[in-house]
Amino acid sequence: MQTIRVSATHARNNFFELLEKVALGDQVLVEKDRKLVAAIVPRKTKVDWKGLKIAMDAAHGILKDYDLSKSPLRGRKSKTWLARASRY
């Protein structure tokens, strides 16, 4: 599998050609302002059920020790916390 990096403008102008390359197994990475914004990859036809089961078992109970009362999203100062966090 080959990886191709293209600009967003090039991807827009040559979309169907890129789709043909993806259909043949290549991967296309689309950049806008020199930042990666999208990836066009071939569709997987088979689901890895064993891998999904392993991941779900590993994540089971991950939030059991989390105390919601200490969440910055609850309480009187949540509005200021969200305003400060949205600046990043």
Asked whether residue 81 is assigned to any structural domain, the reply reads no
The tens digit of pLDDT for each residue in 57-88 reads 888 877 777 777 777 778 778 888 888 888 76
The tens digit of pLDDT for each residue in 3-50 reads 999 999 999 999 999 999 999 989 999 999 999 999 999 988 788 899
Asked whether residue 8 is assigned to any structural domain, the reply reads yes
Asked whether residue 3 is assigned to any structural domain, the reply reads yes
pLDDT at 20: 94
Q: Rounded to an integer, what distance in angstroms lies between the CA atom of residue 5 and that of residue 21?
A: 12
Asked whether residue 25 is assigned to any structural domain, the reply reads yes
In order of 4, 5, 24, the CA distances from 21 in angstroms are 9, 12, 5
Q: Rounded to an integer, what distance in angstroms lies between the CA atom of residue 28 and that of residue 7?
A: 10
Q: Rounded to an integer, what distance in angstroms lies between the CA atom of residue 46 and that of residue 55?
A: 17
**Which of these, 16, 22, 29, lies nearest to 1 by C-alpha position?**
22
**Domains in the chain: how many in total?**
1
Asked whether residue 79 is assigned to any structural domain, the reply reads no
